[in-house]
Amino acid sequence: MKLTVLGNTGPYPKAGGACSGYLLENGDSKVVLDMGNGTLANLRTICDIEDITAVICSHLHPDHISDLFVLRYALEMRGMTIPLYAPDSPDKEFDRLSYKNVFDLTPITEDLKLEIGGMTFSFMEMRHPLKDFAIKAYDGKSTFMYTGDTAMCQALEEFTKGVDVLLCDSAFLDDVDSAIHLSMEKAIQNANNAGVRRLILTHFSPEISPQRYYEIGNGRFNGRLSKAEIMANFTI
Ligand SMILES: [Zn+2]
Ligand SMILES: [Zn+2]
């Protein structure tokens, strides 16, 4: 699998930046994980809209889904429908995704298992003000996981077990206790406890450079630490 970062901040972008969005590829399959503001423009530097296999959204906060509302025009103009997987809550936000049936919409549950392009996807609900699912992908060799937005919780610890590469919310540079996001310290602790091989920090504050997170976090993680810079790619 190959991961490319399309956006890396929340809950709003820095100058010239983009909020959460990642492209996960396996062979010709292209699965987009979250589609925050600015990510569609970055995705289009890599592939055509016709090449998108599916979109999976961790949760329905605007910094993770806002470009879906412009992608739908591009799909409508091409007469295309693509699969979209997202939590069904809040109702009003979920209903907004059913515009002209350009998305073949499936609610995410913990029971959902998807086979897309040689990857098996599974899901577990995390801890966030909106219903948020961590997304796991296994290609028969390696396991990748993206947390979406989450605070520290038992479900996160459970789901991280056996993960090779973890793309993880680390919104707070300082080790604050939060019911919304992880601090970098908690992201590193959780990854260390699970024996993760590579930790990719993301969901940075738009007011702090990713390099600052990396400098402070490096040396505390037992595996290889990376930062999700826009357009960086990682082999998984
Ligand atoms: Zn967010
Ligand atoms: Zn959120």
Ligand nearest to the CA of 36: 1
Ligand nearest to the CA of 169: 1
Instruction: Tell whether the model's pLDDT for residue 100 goes beyond 90.
Output: no
pLDDT tens for residues 128-141? 999 999 999 999 99
Ligand nearest to the CA of 63: 1
Ligand 1 centre distance from Cα of residue 79 (Å): 30
What's 175's domain CATH number? Answer: 3.60.15.10
Residue 202, domain extent: 2-235
pLDDT tens for residues 15-67? 999 999 999 999 999 999 999 999 999 999 999 999 999 999 999 999 999 99
Ligand 2 centre distance from Cα of residue 127 (Å): 10
Count how many domains the chain has. 1
Ligand nearest to the CA of 203: 1
**Averaged pLDDT for residues 214-228:** 97
pLDDT tens for residues 187-199? 999 999 999 999 9
Q: CB-based burial of residue 59 (10 Å sphere; 0-12 exposed, 13-18 middle, 19+ buried)?
A: buried
CA distance to 9, 18, 39, 95, 136, per residue, from 60 (Å): 16, 16, 15, 11, 18
Residues whose Cβ atom is located within 5 A of ion ligand 1: 10, 63, 149
